[in-house]
Amino acid sequence: MLHRALSEHFPGDWRCQALNISGLCETWRAEGPQGARLFIKTLPQARAAVLDAEADGLRALAAARALRVPAVAGVFLHEGTAVLALEWLDLKPLGDVGGAAFGAALHTAEAPARYGWSRGNWLGATPQDNAWSAGDGLADWLGFLATRRLRPLAQGLDAALVDAVERLISRLPALFDDGHVPRPSLIHGDLWSGNWGALADGTPVVFDPAVSVSDAEAELAMMELFGAPPPAFWPAYRAAAPLHGGYVRRRPVYQLVHLLNHARLFGGGYARQALAVAQRLIQ
């Protein structure tokens, strides 16, 4: 079926090899005429908006010209299946050369002077509301963080966790009392070690985004939660965009966002970890 879909949208005959058919979506390697290759994601047609949003995020990151991303070759429907076709890139682990380039480029693109995005998207399988804030002041960011991230992700989880998150929301201003007002930054949004790599020459590549305009610190906190960039990343990042001294205090708040998401998706230990983090923050 998939090879027929590709042949209808791209010249020639295509062969498809399954890479992963047991996760949140199915992924495939497609080979076409004259050595052409594509990376393919598929979902049931009812979830086509997930792939549309991913394509939108990749195009936004590509337009920003700060980081390399796989080009979007097409997004289409075929016989009840949504298909996202991306440029195939041969990737290797991100080493020190790529790590330094990664740090120098991340969060350097210009962004609108408010928080949010032009559409909702998905953090894994979780819908993410990105309705724009009114402005770019601290109150705007704290409102966005509370109403677009923390509270929706906690909703429906254990009552003790919901209560801890609500108490944390009321105390958020104290974590920003050091003068840090987030500069709206275009962030990847789901930047853990499984969503970055490097080309053969070391050029860093990111993929599978959940983009928004947010506090850059939120991205850095995620990068430190699930895996970590190469050591060369940090001095290069600080040279391009110096970190505010209060980042270490705020890091657990931003990591809590992703722990709450994992608690929703996977339950178990993530819910306990999220509760422990929230309780430490409100002590």
| Nearest residue to 169 via CA among 244, 269, 256 | 256
Which of 37, 70, 87 lies at the terminal end of a domain, its last residue?
A: 87
Segments forming the whole domain that contains residue 188: 96-282
Statement to judge: residues 130 and 53 lie in one domain: no
Helix 247-266 with 269-282: angle, nearest 10 deg = 150
Catalytic pick from 140, 190, 208, 215? Answer: 190
Query: Can you tell me whether residue 136 is helix, strand or coil?
Result: coil
**Strands 15-20, 26-31: parallel, antiparallel or unpaired by DSSP?**
antiparallel
Statement to judge: residues 16 and 63 lie in one domain: yes
The model's pTM: 0.96
Which of 87, 113, 133 lies at the terminal end of a domain, its last residue?
A: 87
The answer to whether 190 is a known catalytic residue is yes
How many separate domains does the chain show? 2
pLDDT per residue rounded down to tens, the chain (283 residues): 798 889 999 989 999 999 998 777 999 999 999 999 999 999 999 999 999 999 999 999 999 999 999 999 999 999 999 999 999 999 999 999 999 999 999 999 999 999 999 999 999 999 999 999 999 999 999 999 999 999 999 999 999 999 999 999 999 999 999 999 999 999 999 999 999 999 999 999 999 999 999 999 999 999 999 999 999 999 999 999 989 999 999 999 999 999 999 999 998 899 999 999 999 999 9
In whole angstroms, give the CA distance from residue 86 to residue 1.
Answer: 18
